Amino acid sequence: MQKRKLGTSGLEVSAIGLGCMGMTGVYGDMPDRATMIDLTRKAVDLGVTLFDSAEAYGPWTNEELVGEALKPVRDQVVIATKFGFDIDQTTGERRGGANSRPDHVRQVTENALRRLGIETIDLLYQHRVDPNVPIEETAGAVKDLIAEGKVRHWGLSEASAATVRRAHAVLPVAALQSEYSLWYRGPEAEILPTLEELGIGFVPFSPLGAGFLTGKIDPATKFPEGDFRTMVPRFQGEALEANMALVALVKDVAARKNATPAQVALAWLLAQKPWIVPIPGTTKLHRLEENLGAVDVTLSPDDLREIDEASARLDLQGARLPEAVLALTNG
Protein backbone atom coordinates (compact mmCIF):
# COMPACT_ATOMS: atom_id res chain seq x y z
CA MET A 1 0.00 0.00 0.00
CA GLN A 2 1.26 3.46 -0.90
CA LYS A 3 1.80 5.95 1.94
CA ARG A 4 0.98 9.64 2.18
CA LYS A 5 1.76 12.39 4.68
CA LEU A 6 -1.05 14.53 6.00
CA GLY A 7 0.30 17.95 5.14
CA THR A 8 3.41 19.03 7.00
CA SER A 9 2.38 17.38 10.27
CA GLY A 10 4.70 14.43 9.70
CA LEU A 11 1.80 12.02 10.21
CA GLU A 12 2.21 9.30 7.57
CA VAL A 13 -0.65 6.94 6.75
CA SER A 14 -1.81 4.60 4.01
CA ALA A 15 -2.99 6.40 0.88
CA ILE A 16 -6.49 5.05 1.57
CA GLY A 17 -7.81 4.66 5.09
CA LEU A 18 -10.85 2.86 6.45
CA GLY A 19 -13.92 4.69 7.71
CA CYS A 20 -15.38 2.49 10.44
CA MET A 21 -18.70 4.26 11.09
CA GLY A 22 -20.83 1.75 9.19
CA MET A 23 -19.47 -1.16 11.21
CA THR A 24 -21.81 -0.29 14.06
CA GLY A 25 -24.85 0.60 11.96
CA VAL A 26 -26.12 3.57 9.90
CA TYR A 27 -27.09 1.61 6.82
CA GLY A 28 -29.93 -0.40 8.31
CA ASP A 29 -29.14 -3.75 9.92
CA MET A 30 -26.35 -3.91 12.49
CA PRO A 31 -23.34 -5.80 11.10
CA ASP A 32 -22.01 -8.81 12.98
CA ARG A 33 -19.39 -7.61 15.47
CA ALA A 34 -16.99 -10.54 15.05
CA THR A 35 -17.13 -10.18 11.27
CA MET A 36 -16.32 -6.47 11.54
CA ILE A 37 -13.35 -7.17 13.79
CA ASP A 38 -12.06 -9.69 11.25
CA LEU A 39 -12.59 -7.18 8.44
CA THR A 40 -10.67 -4.48 10.31
CA ARG A 41 -7.74 -6.83 10.89
CA LYS A 42 -7.83 -7.89 7.25
CA ALA A 43 -7.52 -4.22 6.30
CA VAL A 44 -4.29 -4.08 8.30
CA ASP A 45 -3.03 -7.14 6.43
CA LEU A 46 -3.80 -5.33 3.17
CA GLY A 47 -1.75 -2.31 4.20
CA VAL A 48 -4.32 0.08 5.68
CA THR A 49 -2.89 2.08 8.56
CA LEU A 50 -5.51 4.83 9.12
CA PHE A 51 -8.71 3.84 10.93
CA ASP A 52 -11.44 6.38 11.60
CA SER A 53 -13.90 6.22 14.49
CA ALA A 54 -15.83 8.64 16.75
CA GLU A 55 -17.55 8.67 20.11
CA ALA A 56 -20.79 9.56 18.31
CA TYR A 57 -20.79 6.32 16.32
CA GLY A 58 -23.05 4.28 18.53
CA PRO A 59 -22.47 6.26 20.67
CA TRP A 60 -19.34 4.53 21.93
CA THR A 61 -19.80 1.08 20.38
CA ASN A 62 -17.63 1.93 17.38
CA GLU A 63 -14.64 2.95 19.47
CA GLU A 64 -14.95 -0.24 21.48
CA LEU A 65 -14.99 -2.34 18.31
CA VAL A 66 -12.07 -0.51 16.71
CA GLY A 67 -10.05 -0.74 19.90
CA GLU A 68 -10.58 -4.48 20.20
CA ALA A 69 -9.87 -5.12 16.53
CA LEU A 70 -6.62 -3.15 16.47
CA LYS A 71 -5.25 -4.13 19.86
CA PRO A 72 -2.94 -6.85 18.44
CA VAL A 73 -1.45 -4.40 15.89
CA ARG A 74 -1.57 -1.15 17.85
CA ASP A 75 2.00 -0.18 16.93
CA GLN A 76 1.28 -0.56 13.20
CA VAL A 77 -1.74 1.73 12.87
CA VAL A 78 -3.00 5.28 13.25
CA ILE A 79 -6.25 5.50 15.20
CA ALA A 80 -8.44 8.56 14.70
CA THR A 81 -11.51 9.43 16.73
CA LYS A 82 -13.63 12.51 17.39
CA PHE A 83 -15.26 14.64 20.07
CA GLY A 84 -17.70 17.49 19.60
CA PHE A 85 -21.31 16.39 19.94
CA ASP A 86 -23.26 16.93 23.15
CA ILE A 87 -23.42 13.37 24.41
CA ASP A 88 -23.94 12.63 28.11
CA GLN A 89 -20.74 10.94 29.26
CA THR A 90 -22.56 8.80 31.80
CA THR A 91 -25.61 7.58 29.90
CA GLY A 92 -24.61 8.05 26.26
CA GLU A 93 -27.75 10.12 25.69
CA ARG A 94 -27.57 12.44 22.69
CA ARG A 95 -28.63 15.83 23.99
CA GLY A 96 -28.49 17.48 20.58
CA GLY A 97 -26.13 20.04 19.17
CA ALA A 98 -22.41 20.49 19.66
CA ASN A 99 -20.28 20.61 22.80
CA SER A 100 -16.62 21.56 22.64
CA ARG A 101 -16.23 23.12 26.08
CA PRO A 102 -12.71 22.36 27.33
CA ASP A 103 -13.93 20.28 30.28
CA HIS A 104 -16.14 18.21 27.96
CA VAL A 105 -13.31 17.71 25.45
CA ARG A 106 -11.12 16.34 28.24
CA GLN A 107 -13.84 14.04 29.54
CA VAL A 108 -14.63 12.67 26.08
CA THR A 109 -10.93 12.09 25.36
CA GLU A 110 -10.36 10.24 28.63
CA ASN A 111 -13.35 8.00 27.91
CA ALA A 112 -12.27 7.42 24.30
CA LEU A 113 -8.83 6.30 25.46
CA ARG A 114 -10.47 3.80 27.78
CA ARG A 115 -12.87 2.47 25.14
CA LEU A 116 -10.11 2.18 22.53
CA GLY A 117 -7.77 0.57 25.04
CA ILE A 118 -4.86 2.82 24.10
CA GLU A 119 -2.64 5.33 25.88
CA THR A 120 -2.56 7.96 23.13
CA ILE A 121 -5.01 8.93 20.38
CA ASP A 122 -3.04 9.40 17.17
CA LEU A 123 -5.46 11.88 15.58
CA LEU A 124 -8.24 13.56 17.54
CA TYR A 125 -10.79 15.53 15.52
CA GLN A 126 -13.37 18.05 16.58
CA HIS A 127 -16.38 16.37 14.97
CA ARG A 128 -18.36 19.58 14.47
CA VAL A 129 -17.54 23.18 15.31
CA ASP A 130 -19.32 24.43 18.43
CA PRO A 131 -20.80 27.89 17.73
CA ASN A 132 -20.90 28.62 21.46
CA VAL A 133 -17.22 27.93 22.19
CA PRO A 134 -14.43 29.91 20.51
CA ILE A 135 -12.26 27.55 18.49
CA GLU A 136 -9.24 29.00 20.29
CA GLU A 137 -10.54 27.58 23.58
CA THR A 138 -11.06 24.17 22.05
CA ALA A 139 -7.60 24.23 20.49
CA GLY A 140 -6.15 25.14 23.86
CA ALA A 141 -7.85 22.16 25.49
CA VAL A 142 -6.44 19.79 22.89
CA LYS A 143 -3.02 21.44 23.25
CA ASP A 144 -3.06 20.49 26.92
CA LEU A 145 -3.98 16.90 26.06
CA ILE A 146 -1.09 16.72 23.59
CA ALA A 147 1.28 18.06 26.26
CA GLU A 148 0.09 15.27 28.56
CA GLY A 149 0.74 12.60 25.93
CA LYS A 150 -2.91 11.67 25.53
CA VAL A 151 -3.15 12.94 21.93
CA ARG A 152 -0.52 13.12 19.16
CA HIS A 153 -2.20 15.20 16.46
CA TRP A 154 -5.48 17.02 16.12
CA GLY A 155 -7.86 17.91 13.35
CA LEU A 156 -11.21 19.46 12.52
CA SER A 157 -14.25 18.16 10.66
CA GLU A 158 -16.64 20.15 8.46
CA ALA A 159 -15.00 23.42 9.56
CA SER A 160 -14.84 26.54 7.41
CA ALA A 161 -11.58 27.92 6.05
CA ALA A 162 -11.76 30.80 8.51
CA THR A 163 -12.18 28.46 11.48
CA VAL A 164 -9.31 26.29 10.27
CA ARG A 165 -7.06 29.36 10.19
CA ARG A 166 -8.02 30.40 13.72
CA ALA A 167 -7.51 26.89 15.09
CA HIS A 168 -4.20 26.43 13.30
CA ALA A 169 -2.87 29.67 14.78
CA VAL A 170 -3.26 28.22 18.29
CA LEU A 171 -2.30 24.61 17.62
CA PRO A 172 -1.11 23.30 14.22
CA VAL A 173 -3.91 21.28 12.61
CA ALA A 174 -2.77 17.99 11.05
CA ALA A 175 -5.90 17.24 9.03
CA LEU A 176 -9.36 18.43 8.09
CA GLN A 177 -12.02 15.77 7.56
CA SER A 178 -14.98 16.82 5.43
CA GLU A 179 -17.08 15.40 2.64
CA TYR A 180 -15.46 15.52 -0.79
CA SER A 181 -16.03 13.45 -3.90
CA LEU A 182 -17.03 13.73 -7.53
CA TRP A 183 -20.57 14.08 -6.17
CA TYR A 184 -19.76 16.90 -3.75
CA ARG A 185 -16.95 19.29 -4.68
CA GLY A 186 -17.66 22.11 -2.27
CA PRO A 187 -14.17 22.06 -0.64
CA GLU A 188 -12.52 23.11 -3.90
CA ALA A 189 -13.51 26.78 -3.59
CA GLU A 190 -11.89 27.73 -0.28
CA ILE A 191 -10.94 24.68 1.75
CA LEU A 192 -8.34 23.06 -0.50
CA PRO A 193 -6.41 26.31 -1.16
CA THR A 194 -6.39 27.06 2.58
CA LEU A 195 -5.15 23.60 3.50
CA GLU A 196 -2.41 23.76 0.88
CA GLU A 197 -1.28 27.17 2.14
CA LEU A 198 -1.16 26.04 5.77
CA GLY A 199 0.26 22.56 5.16
CA ILE A 200 -2.77 20.67 6.46
CA GLY A 201 -3.83 17.25 5.19
CA PHE A 202 -7.33 16.48 3.93
CA VAL A 203 -9.27 13.32 4.78
CA PRO A 204 -12.45 13.12 2.67
CA PHE A 205 -15.28 11.16 4.20
CA SER A 206 -18.02 9.72 2.00
CA PRO A 207 -15.57 9.64 -0.95
CA LEU A 208 -17.95 7.30 -2.75
CA GLY A 209 -21.03 9.40 -2.05
CA ALA A 210 -22.41 6.97 0.54
CA GLY A 211 -22.19 4.20 -2.04
CA PHE A 212 -23.67 6.15 -4.94
CA LEU A 213 -20.44 6.29 -6.96
CA THR A 214 -20.03 2.52 -6.82
CA GLY A 215 -22.72 2.27 -9.50
CA LYS A 216 -24.75 -0.12 -7.36
CA ILE A 217 -27.55 2.35 -6.56
CA ASP A 218 -30.28 3.46 -8.96
CA PRO A 219 -33.85 4.85 -8.75
CA ALA A 220 -35.20 1.35 -8.12
CA THR A 221 -32.99 0.83 -5.05
CA LYS A 222 -34.90 0.32 -1.79
CA PHE A 223 -32.83 1.23 1.24
CA PRO A 224 -33.46 -0.85 4.38
CA GLU A 225 -35.31 0.57 7.36
CA GLY A 226 -32.97 2.67 9.46
CA ASP A 227 -30.63 3.51 6.57
CA PHE A 228 -29.72 7.21 6.89
CA ARG A 229 -29.85 7.63 3.10
CA THR A 230 -33.66 7.51 3.30
CA MET A 231 -33.42 11.04 4.79
CA VAL A 232 -30.83 12.47 2.38
CA PRO A 233 -32.33 14.72 -0.34
CA ARG A 234 -29.90 13.80 -3.12
CA PHE A 235 -31.00 10.15 -2.86
CA GLN A 236 -34.68 10.97 -3.33
CA GLY A 237 -36.96 10.75 -6.38
CA GLU A 238 -36.20 13.11 -9.23
CA ALA A 239 -32.92 14.22 -7.64
CA LEU A 240 -31.58 10.67 -7.69
CA GLU A 241 -32.70 10.18 -11.28
CA ALA A 242 -30.88 13.37 -12.34
CA ASN A 243 -27.76 12.35 -10.44
CA MET A 244 -27.50 9.04 -12.30
CA ALA A 245 -25.79 10.97 -15.11
CA LEU A 246 -22.70 11.22 -12.90
CA VAL A 247 -22.68 7.46 -12.38
CA ALA A 248 -22.86 6.96 -16.14
CA LEU A 249 -19.82 9.21 -16.56
CA VAL A 250 -17.80 7.34 -13.95
CA LYS A 251 -18.81 3.97 -15.40
CA ASP A 252 -17.65 5.07 -18.83
CA VAL A 253 -14.20 6.01 -17.53
CA ALA A 254 -14.01 2.81 -15.50
CA ALA A 255 -14.72 0.65 -18.54
CA ARG A 256 -11.81 2.23 -20.40
CA LYS A 257 -9.48 1.87 -17.44
CA ASN A 258 -10.40 -1.76 -16.74
CA ALA A 259 -11.42 -0.63 -13.27
CA THR A 260 -14.62 -0.34 -11.25
CA PRO A 261 -16.57 2.91 -10.78
CA ALA A 262 -15.56 2.98 -7.11
CA GLN A 263 -11.91 2.70 -8.03
CA VAL A 264 -12.18 5.55 -10.53
CA ALA A 265 -13.95 7.76 -7.95
CA LEU A 266 -11.21 7.11 -5.39
CA ALA A 267 -8.41 7.45 -7.94
CA TRP A 268 -9.86 10.83 -8.90
CA LEU A 269 -9.60 11.98 -5.30
CA LEU A 270 -6.04 10.69 -4.95
CA ALA A 271 -5.08 12.60 -8.09
CA GLN A 272 -6.30 15.94 -6.74
CA LYS A 273 -3.56 16.49 -4.14
CA PRO A 274 -0.76 14.31 -2.70
CA TRP A 275 -1.94 15.11 0.84
CA ILE A 276 -5.48 13.82 0.35
CA VAL A 277 -6.30 10.50 2.05
CA PRO A 278 -9.89 9.27 1.50
CA ILE A 279 -11.52 6.97 4.04
CA PRO A 280 -14.18 4.87 2.29
CA GLY A 281 -16.18 2.68 4.62
CA THR A 282 -17.41 -0.85 3.99
CA THR A 283 -18.63 -3.92 5.81
CA LYS A 284 -17.65 -6.36 3.04
CA LEU A 285 -14.22 -7.82 2.34
CA HIS A 286 -14.58 -7.77 -1.44
CA ARG A 287 -15.49 -4.06 -1.31
CA LEU A 288 -12.47 -3.37 0.89
CA GLU A 289 -10.20 -5.09 -1.61
CA GLU A 290 -11.87 -3.24 -4.49
CA ASN A 291 -11.47 0.14 -2.81
CA LEU A 292 -7.81 -0.40 -2.02
CA GLY A 293 -7.23 -1.33 -5.66
CA ALA A 294 -7.82 2.31 -6.52
CA VAL A 295 -4.17 3.09 -5.74
CA ASP A 296 -3.26 1.13 -8.88
CA VAL A 297 -5.60 3.12 -11.15
CA THR A 298 -3.82 5.97 -12.91
CA LEU A 299 -5.82 8.86 -14.30
CA SER A 300 -3.84 10.91 -16.82
CA PRO A 301 -4.14 14.70 -17.09
CA ASP A 302 -6.38 14.10 -20.12
CA ASP A 303 -8.57 11.73 -18.10
CA LEU A 304 -8.91 14.27 -15.29
CA ARG A 305 -9.68 17.06 -17.74
CA GLU A 306 -12.35 14.94 -19.43
CA ILE A 307 -13.96 14.10 -16.08
CA ASP A 308 -13.95 17.73 -14.98
CA GLU A 309 -15.39 19.04 -18.22
CA ALA A 310 -18.07 16.37 -18.44
CA SER A 311 -19.11 16.62 -14.80
CA ALA A 312 -19.31 20.43 -15.03
CA ARG A 313 -22.10 20.02 -17.59
CA LEU A 314 -24.21 17.88 -15.25
CA ASP A 315 -27.14 19.23 -13.26
CA LEU A 316 -26.62 17.41 -9.96
CA GLN A 317 -29.50 17.83 -7.54
CA GLY A 318 -30.40 17.50 -3.88
CA ALA A 319 -28.63 18.49 -0.67
CA ARG A 320 -25.91 16.15 0.57
CA LEU A 321 -27.38 15.93 4.09
CA PRO A 322 -30.73 16.59 5.79
CA GLU A 323 -31.29 20.27 6.63
CA ALA A 324 -30.89 19.76 10.39
CA VAL A 325 -27.52 18.08 9.91
CA LEU A 326 -26.33 20.69 7.41
CA ALA A 327 -26.96 23.32 10.07
CA LEU A 328 -24.06 21.81 12.04
CA THR A 329 -21.62 22.02 9.14
CA ASN A 330 -21.29 25.76 8.82
CA GLY A 331 -18.50 26.27 11.35
Instruction: Indicate the helix (H) or strand (E) that contains 135.
Output: helix 135-147
Pairing outcome for strands 12-14 and 3-5? antiparallel
Q: At residue 154, what are phi and psi to the nearest 5 degrees?
A: -130, 160
How many Cβ atoms from other residues are within 10 Å of residue 162's Cβ?
12
Containing H/E element for 61? helix 61-70
57 is catalytic: yes
Determine whether 3 is exposed, middle or buried from the number of CB atoms within 10 Å of its CB (0-12, 13-18, 19+).
Answer: exposed
**Active-site option among 27, 57, 125, 180:** 57
DSSP state for residue 20 in the 8-state scheme: -
Q: What does the alpha-carbon distance between residue 109 and residue 125 come to, in Å, rounded to a whole number?
A: 10
The span from the CA of 203 to the CA of 179, in Å, is 8
Q: What residues does 177 pair with on adjacent strands?
A: 157, 203
List, by residue number, the catalytic residues. 57
